[in-house]
């Protein structure tokens, strides 16, 4: 199973390597990891997409909770959260025809064209991972020169912040 985990940590030096190190040391698989500051600069929010069976995922949450720099860990299920990812792509185009096609698809995906050259279009797409994947897959038919992805970030739906969310672990099959 692949699951999305939101982690609120103290913004201490080395906190990212502590969290990442925990995954390496215990052999857990990270699919993606994204970190950024929060509304309060004393804290950092990390979103990790992890892969494993139920026992491993439970362990990941418990081991994260045990870290002294961790304030809270929540599981962000698909239905209960907004999950987004951003990708930048350099797409190769061989003709004016292809350029139009790329722009048309980008339009359908609400992707932004951020740079246009003779042979390269740079596009920015945002959305759930599946949407980003679908866009990349379509673009690969033209030829992709380069991709940069942010990894997933997520917030729970509804009024509550991570500090207020309940701690129960409920995994769902993705």
Partner 1 sequence: MRLTGAEMVIEALKRENVEIIFGIPGGAMIPVYDALYKSDLKHILTRHEQGAAHAADGYARATGKVGVCFATSGPGATNLTTGLATAYMDSVPVVAFTGQVPTSLIGTDAFQETDATGITMPITKYNFLVKDIKELPHVIKEAFYIARSGRPGPVLVDLPKDIQNAEGEFDYPDNITIEGYIPDPPVSKREVLRILDVIKESKKPIIIAGGGIIISEASEKLREFVNLTKIPITTTLMGLGSYPETDELSLGMLGMHGTRYANYAVSECDLLIGIGMRFDDRVTGKIEKFAPHAKIVHIDLDKAEIGKLVNTFLGVVGDAKRVLNILNEEIKSKGLSFDFSSWHETLREWKEKHPLKYDLSDEGGVKPQYIVETVGKLTNHKAIIIGEVGQSQMWAAQFYKYIEPRTHLSSGGLGTMGYGLPAAIGAKLGRPDKIVVDISGDGSFQMNLQELATISHNKIPIVIALINNEYLGMVRQWQELFYDKRYSHTSLSGNPDFVKLAEAYGIPAKRVTKNEDVESALKEAIESGTPYLIDFIVKKEENVFPMVPAGAALDDMIG
Our finding on whether 10 is near partner 1 (CB under 8 A) is yes
Our finding on whether 134 is near partner 1 (CB under 8 A) is no
Contact in structure between 169 and 59 (CB atoms under 8 Å): no
**What SS3 class is residue 161?**
coil
Please choose, out of 70-78, 105-113, 124-132, 147-155, the segment that lies near partner 1 by the rule CB under 8 A: 70-78
Our finding on whether 145 is near partner 1 (CB under 8 A) is no
Measured from the CB atom, is 3 or 85 closer to partner 1?
3
Residue 136: both structure tokens together: 């990349």
Q: Comparing C-alpha atoms, which of 69, 48, 61 is closest to residue 153? A: 48
The Cα 21–Cα 85 span in angstroms is 23
Which residue from 72, 83, 99, 152 is in contact with partner 1, where contact means CB under 8 A? 72
The Cα 112–Cα 98 span in angstroms is 17
Our finding on whether 38 is near partner 1 (CB under 8 A) is no
Q: Which residues bind partner 1 (CB under 8 A)?
A: 10, 13-14, 17-18, 21, 25, 55, 58-59, 62-63, 65-66, 68-72
């Amino acid at each position: 199973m692949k699951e999305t985990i939101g982690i609120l940590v103290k913004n201490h030096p080395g906190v990212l390597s502590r969290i990442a190190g925990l995954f390496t040391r215990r052999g857990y698989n990270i699919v993606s990891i994204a970190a950024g500051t929060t509304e309060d600069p004393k804290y950092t929010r990390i979103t990790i997409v992890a892969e494993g069976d139920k026992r491993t995922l439970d362990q990941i949450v418990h081991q994260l909770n045990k870290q002294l720099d961790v304030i809270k860990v929540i599981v962000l299920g698909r239905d209960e959260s907004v999950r987004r990812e951003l990708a930048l792509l350099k797409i190769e185009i061989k003709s004016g025809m292809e350029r139009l096609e790329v722009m048309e698809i980008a339009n359908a995906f609400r992707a932004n064209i951020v740079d246009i050259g003779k042979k390269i279009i740079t596009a920015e797409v945002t959305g759930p991972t599946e949407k980003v994947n679908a866009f990349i897959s379509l673009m690969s038919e033209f030829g992709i020169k380069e991709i940069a992805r942010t990894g997933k970030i997520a917030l729970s739906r509804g009024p509550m912040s991570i500090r207020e969310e309940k701690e129960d672990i409920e995994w769902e099959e993705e």
